[in-house]
Structure 1
């Protein structure tokens, strides 16, 4: 039976929440949109008169679609060239979902999305639904066809995996913006000492080029090594300009709730560097230069203006 206007509205009312769940589970806005569209097709084909709670039904269908994708994604990651990082999205994107609590904001940061790659598919689902969306263990158990006690055990295990290696602190917005501005000034100075002062002792830098563009294929650790790496990365040369096709502009922005540096050439975002700042300094840098993962943020960037220019021409 074709969807009624009311049934279409029911789905559209849930679309933003479904996309936000799928993005946290898959780390890809494109894959999240595809999963939600697949959920819509299932909704269209279902015997909707027998569905008592559409929201719960849609969440369960979407979750299982994402579980299937997570399983196949693990196999694809084994052949991925270099380090894999999530697809970044600009502030205001509905993929980010609710951001009222620290847990909700943290769950969508690139640092947390990357950490969640360590979890099994079930662990990731339980953690996301509980931590970011406040689902009760009983509700999650029904979605995954598990017992409530099993669900609680999975949640405790998942939370331990992602919080053991990440201090749960939050820097206020004003301080975070100041840190990223100081970071960019230090990186452009050509001197390593200002960068060393900004980095925490256990800082790490990870870049994702996906084998499509030049990017370091292993993480960089240690303050001095990272400082030297960034100094060379931000040092403008004729060869680098030729490689990217011109002299890009550099902007500051907020990406996945984190202060970030965007490199833009001819209205196309060619690089995103997220600065994960804590009270102890910059803890992690996530550098995304894979063109396939910058298409959405490029569209967002074009629609969002005006922007705060940090450097008109690099």
Structure 2
């Protein structure tokens, strides 16, 4: 095995971790893959003979690449970043694909990613690298060009924002399914009060339909969300249970073509968030083949 092959093998050992870092930073599976590929290109052009911790070195490289991508995205995008649903990671209802486990570990649901993308790029980097992956503030400071104290402060601000806006979901998938099925039964039966009962009073529904205007809908409050759910029931779609970022969800289809992916965030036995991706272009690029097995 030559030196290039040896380096490639070492990189592949870290690919899953690096993709998980990039996904939390960017909320886009395609861009996450691009960031990981850029890290490989930088590694292949760098003399790493003095690098003692290759995994840590690669993590900071991916962090720096993602920070640049976020800053570029922020400067050119007219639609606010928190008015676009992150890419969902869809798995069969009976379990997550091993290759996807790192992507959705630590309850990285869509509701959390929506909050993360509302953070300033440097705050998001500080929170993701430190709180989710344990990168020291000294290393984060070098990436953002600030002092370690400033990096610590950025992570602290982000942490307060996340705690205030991203609910901690129930971990029990069986209980999650029971709540989701109660929601579906009430919606199909047209029972408004039963729907309200299964929803948290402060529930939020976010729907991303894509298009040049963003196609973004956000509805808050149990009764308003319940009324919207009753409108959805008129659409006679085939639905299949699935895991969406490790949480219970639904993939709806028409003639075998996916038309929406729904993710339910459930806490304390009630639905606290419903996130719906209905953008035809993005749905067409999702890998849903595992759902047919």
TM-score (norm 2): 0.87
Cα deviation digits, residues 148-187 of structure 1 (max 9, x gap) = 3222212111100111233445352211111111112222
Which whole-Å CA distance do the structure 1 matches of 2:122 and 2:149 have between them?
A: 14
Structure 1 segments unaligned to the other structure (5+ residues): 238-247, 307-314
Per the alignment, residue 303 of structure 1 pairs with: 290
Instruction: Check 1:141–1:95 CA distance in 2 against 1; reply closer, same or farther (3 A cut).
Output: farther
Per the alignment, residue 250 of structure 1 pairs with: 239
Per the alignment, residue 310 of structure 1 pairs with: none
Say if 1:204 and 1:226, in contact at 8 Å, map to a contact too: yes
Per the alignment, residue 234 of structure 1 pairs with: 233
Which whole-Å CA distance do the structure 2 matches of 1:59 and 1:88 have between them?
A: 23
Say if 1:212 and 1:291, in contact at 8 Å, map to a contact too: no
Say if 1:129 and 1:140, in contact at 8 Å, map to a contact too: yes
Instruction: Check 1:208–1:169 CA distance in 2 against 1; reply closer, same or farther (3 A cut).
Output: closer
Instruction: Check 1:267–1:302 CA distance in 2 against 1; reply closer, same or farther (3 A cut).
Output: farther
Instruction: Check 1:59–1:214 CA distance in 2 against 1; reply closer, same or farther (3 A cut).
Output: closer
Instruction: Check 1:80–1:95 CA distance in 2 against 1; reply closer, same or farther (3 A cut).
Output: farther
Cα deviation digits, residues 79-108 of structure 1 (max 9, x gap) = 379931101012435455176xxxx523x2
Which whole-Å CA distance do the structure 2 matches of 1:81 and 1:128 have between them?
A: 17
CA RMSD in angstroms comes to 2.6
Which whole-Å CA distance do the structure 1 matches of 2:191 and 2:152 have between them?
A: 50
Cα deviation digits, residues 111-153 of structure 1 (max 9, x gap) = 0000112211111111112222233334433444543322221
Which whole-Å CA distance do the structure 2 matches of 1:177 and 1:56 have between them?
A: 38
The answer as to 2:102 corresponding to 1:97 is yes
Cα deviation digits, residues 19-69 of structure 1 (max 9, x gap) = 000000000101101111111111222233354432222222211111111
For the residue of structure 2 that corresponds to 1:111, the secondary structure is: helix
Which whole-Å CA distance do the structure 2 matches of 1:192 and 1:56 have between them?
A: 52
Give the number of aligned pairs.
287
Instruction: Check 1:3–1:43 CA distance in 2 against 1; reply closer, same or farther (3 A cut).
Output: farther
Cα deviation digits, residues 2-30 of structure 1 (max 9, x gap) = 95221010111111111000000000101
Which whole-Å CA distance do the structure 1 matches of 2:122 and 2:50 have between them?
A: 27
Which whole-Å CA distance do the structure 1 matches of 2:213 and 2:175 have between them?
A: 33
Deviation at residue 213 of structure 1 after TM alignment: 11
Instruction: Check 1:95–1:133 CA distance in 2 against 1; reply closer, same or farther (3 A cut).
Output: farther
Which whole-Å CA distance do the structure 2 matches of 1:186 and 1:265 have between them?
A: 22
Per the alignment, residue 221 of structure 1 pairs with: 220
Structure 2 segments unaligned to the other structure (5+ residues): none
Say if 2:82 and 2:117, in contact at 8 Å, map to a contact too: no
- Of 27-36 and 84-93, deviating more is 84-93
1:25-174 → structure 2 map (5 Å cutoff): 25-79=25-79, 83-91=83-91, 92=96, 94=99, 97=102, 104-106=105-107, 108-168=108-168, 170-174=170-174
1:266-277 → structure 2 map (5 Å cutoff): 266-277=255-266
For the residue of structure 2 that corresponds to 1:46, the secondary structure is: coil
Instruction: Check 1:265–1:82 CA distance in 2 against 1; reply closer, same or farther (3 A cut).
Output: farther
TM-score (norm 1): 0.82
Instruction: Check 1:277–1:287 CA distance in 2 against 1; reply closer, same or farther (3 A cut).
Output: same
Instruction: Check 1:175–1:154 CA distance in 2 against 1; reply closer, same or farther (3 A cut).
Output: same
Per the alignment, residue 271 of structure 2 pairs with: 282
Say if 2:83 and 2:214, in contact at 8 Å, map to a contact too: no
